[in-house]
A and B are shown apart, each in its own frame.
Chain A
Amino acid sequence: MMEKAINIFYMGKGGVGKSTSAALNSLFLAQKGFEVLLVSLDPAHNQSDIFEKNLSDTPKQIIPHLTAVEIDQDHWIKRYLKDVHNQINRTYSYLTSFNLEKYFKVIKYSPGLEEYALILAFKEIRRKYLQHDFLVFDMAPTALSLKFFTLPSLSLIWINHLLALRQEIIKKRELITKVRLLKKEIETDKVLSRIEDSIQEYTTLKELFEDPERTKINLVLNPDLLSFAESKRIVNGLKEINIFLNQIIINKILCDSSCKHIEKGLRGIPMLQAPFSETPLIGLDILTRFLKENNDIMMRQPLKILMNGVK
């Protein structure tokens, strides 16, 4: 099956309006007739409040063509650890797995699985909804989002080193069996096959993140200096792992705000300027009205590029 779903990520400093921008973009696309799924990957979910709906792990319809879901990170960590636990119980002898119980109790509280939980959720969503036109992701604050995007590259560095060492071990083992028993070991090494599977998985993810046709990363920022400074760090952090931004959304612009410093500092990335809304953008009606009032902005800027070639 062709994977046609395009990922749109919304990143940025806390409070700049990532969630609202993601919600507006999803609404806009759905109103144009595209099939859209809005996914909140932010552990502190906002979409329920924005749409005034009780969202959960199972997608709920907001308007025709638009469904929304909020990912429960803890649930994914627990599910993953349970899978590993079961797998260990299946493959280890009773005594070893019995001795490992105490380690597992500790692992439950280990850091560093948050971003992997998001990756697992992301993979599942892509697998389930690949026939949608757009998957809009409302991301977590900067640190966790950057970890999310760097995870495949970082894991690949580690796992390629492990692969080299494992291959060396297998070569030597084969030599031993050959000399001892005059035949080659036919048994496949399970660790090696798992390593190869992981390489495949991480490479696919890395390519997906790096492909500007399938993954659009939108950076939301405000005209203030703090969010600008953090945005520059995001741009550079992503550039290091070969991921480039699709567009910058300068949000909450008041009539007197100057965006010159942003235009100068982040040259080369398409920019969209969204005005400050006097009324809080909460509730479907207000969001729709805001979209109508600013229709020209939405149509003029890179969203148009986005829609080319989709329908």
Chain B
Amino acid sequence: MMSFLTRIKEMLVETWKVGDRVGRGKAVEAVESEVEEMENIFGILVLGSFVGMPSPPMQISLDLMPYMEKELILMMEKVDTANEPISQLFSIFNIG
């Protein structure tokens, strides 16, 4: 009897945990994509000279570049989705 109750309790806890994780994930999804977008802007601002954008004095870009691997990769990835901004927006907000 006890073990049955414990199992039910464990299941409930597990369900709660999964639900909690999903809820939390959903709650920050939009903010996450906003941050990603901002990181991309930061990347373009600093390393823009590599893709033909006006950029800060060269030494600022070069000083920060060693610490910007993530932004650099993100910038390159963004190039792939740059042609479909609407579909990207739809997927962020789960439309369709």
Tell which of A39-47, A55-63, A166-174, A278-286 binds the partner: A166-174
If over half of A's interface residues share one DSSP class (helix, strand or loop), that class is named, otherwise mixed; here it is: helix
If over half of B's interface residues share one DSSP class (helix, strand or loop), that class is named, otherwise mixed; here it is: helix
Instruction: Tell me whether A165 and B57 are in contact (CB under 8 A).
Output: no
Cβ-closest chain B residue relative to A110: B58
Q: Quick check: is A176 within 8 A (CB to CB) of the other chain?
A: yes
Q: Quick check: is A195 within 8 A (CB to CB) of the other chain?
A: yes
Instruction: Tell me whether B72 and A172 are in contact (CB under 8 A).
Output: no
Bitwise interface map of A from 160 to 198 toward B, beta carbon under 8 Å scored 1, else 0: 011001101100110110011000000000110011001
**With A92-B69, A169-B42: A162-B63 Cβ-Cβ less than 8 Å:** no
Cβ of B50 to closest chain A Cβ, rounded Å: 6
Instruction: Tell me whether A175 and B31 are in contact (CB under 8 A).
Output: yes
Q: Quick check: is A308 within 8 A (CB to CB) of the other chain?
A: no
Contacts of B41 in A (CB 8 A): 165
Instruction: Tell me whether A91 and B66 are in contact (CB under 8 A).
Output: yes
Contacts of A190 in B (CB 8 A): 67
Bitwise interface map of B from 11 to 41 toward A, beta carbon under 8 Å scored 1, else 0: 0000000000000110110011011001101
Contacts of B28 in A (CB 8 A): 175-176, 179-180
A75 to B68, CA, bound (A): 26
Q: Quick check: is B65 within 8 A (CB to CB) of the other chain?
A: yes
Instruction: Tell me whether B60 and A169 are in contact (CB under 8 A).
Output: no
Cβ-closest chain A residue relative to B72: A96
Instruction: Tell me whether B32 and A103 are in contact (CB under 8 A).
Output: no
Q: For the A-B complex with A110-B49, A113-B58, A162-B42 known, give 12 more contacts whose Cβ atoms are closer than 8 Å.
A: A80-B62, A88-B65, A113-B59, A116-B59, A151-B57, A155-B56, A158-B57, A169-B35, A176-B28, A180-B24, A180-B25, A194-B67
List 8 interface pairs A-B (beta carbons < 8 Å), by A numbering: A91-B67, A96-B69, A158-B60, A162-B56, A169-B38, A169-B42, A175-B28, A176-B35
